[in-house]
Amino acid sequence: TRTAAVIPAAGRGVRLGPGAPKALRALNGTPMLVHAVRAMARSRAVSLVVVVAPPDGAAEVRILLDDSALPETTEVRVVPGGETRQESVRLGLAALPEDIGVVLVHDAARPLVPVETVDAVAAAVRDGAPAVVPALPLADTVKEVRPREGGEPELVVGTPERAVLRAVQTPQGFDRGALVEAHEKVALQGEGATDDAGMVERLGVPVVVVPGHEEAFKVTRPLDLVLAEAVLARRRA
Ligand code: C5P
């Protein structure tokens, strides 16, 4: 069976400041999404990439990718996304052909993930793990807080032990059946799931951790754009 990558790229990216949808913002002149598609296509495990575009931007994204000189060995499909990340991923899964058995879900907002990380995730799924996440230890201590009424500062309610916490990245890899089942059965409120493994966990499926990579960081705030361009400049040097 083949491996596909689904790239949710339908987010507006409000935390990055005003402007185009986040995935279409440029890093060193090339949209983040194009970097992300290339990062997936660089893995020999990946033969299909499904890009989930902003709902009103699928045609624009199709043209952008057609003009981006991507490797011809990788097929790229574009589908319109939804209101939440979870909905966007579900729409991407619906566009997969029958012969795809392994699915990598990768944020467009992590344009610089190295191929070694992509390969490691794909290999772990192919070796039998139903769900795999790349993750790194935390530098910061994390607190759980409780918001308070009337503009009072929030209160700390707990400090989980840092040594057992991990920051998880993408691509997250899945046995296709497990991920599709999670999307059919797991209903979440509000923002929905912030990652895909979280949904599969709720089915009781074990999720395996492989080492993440510093360069797989998520471009979320303006400073992340500065860091991403510095990483690209260092790669070219
Ligand atoms: O908002 P956040 O940074 O968690 O988004 C992670 C990824 O999910 C981004 O690549 C974003 O484009 C995507 N997303 C999406 N559809 C949404 C919201 C986010 O595809 N409705």
Which SS3 state, helix, strand or coil, does residue 148 take? Answer: coil
The residue type found at 143 is K
Lowest mean pLDDT among 19-28, 125-134, 156-165, 182-191: 182-191
From CA 77, how far away is CA 112, in angstroms rounded? 21
**pLDDT value for 189:** 60
ipTM of the complex: 0.94
Pocket residue to mutate for ligand 1, from 35, 50, 88, most atoms within 8 A of Cβ: 88
The residue type found at 226 is V
Question: Tell me, which fold does domain 2-135+168-236 have in CATH?
Answer: Spore Coat Polysaccharide Biosynthesis Protein SpsA; Chain A (3.90.550)
Other CB atoms within 10 Å distance of the CB of residue 149: 5
Do β-strands 2-8 and 100-105 pair in parallel, antiparallel, or remain unpaired?
A: parallel
Q: Is the whole model's pTM more than 0.90, yes or no?
A: yes
From CA 194, how far away is CA 67, in angstroms rounded? 31
Residue 134's DSSP bridge partners are 210
The residue type found at 53 is A
Q: Where are the domains of the chain?
A: 2-135+168-236
CB of 85 shorter than 6 A to ligand 1? yes
Lowest mean pLDDT among 5-14, 169-178, 223-232: 5-14
CB of 86 shorter than 6 A to ligand 1? no
Query: What separation in Å is there between the alpha carbon of 8 and the centre of ligand 1?
Result: 6
Query: Two tokens at 90?
Result: 């579900």
Other CB atoms within 10 Å distance of the CB of residue 192: 19
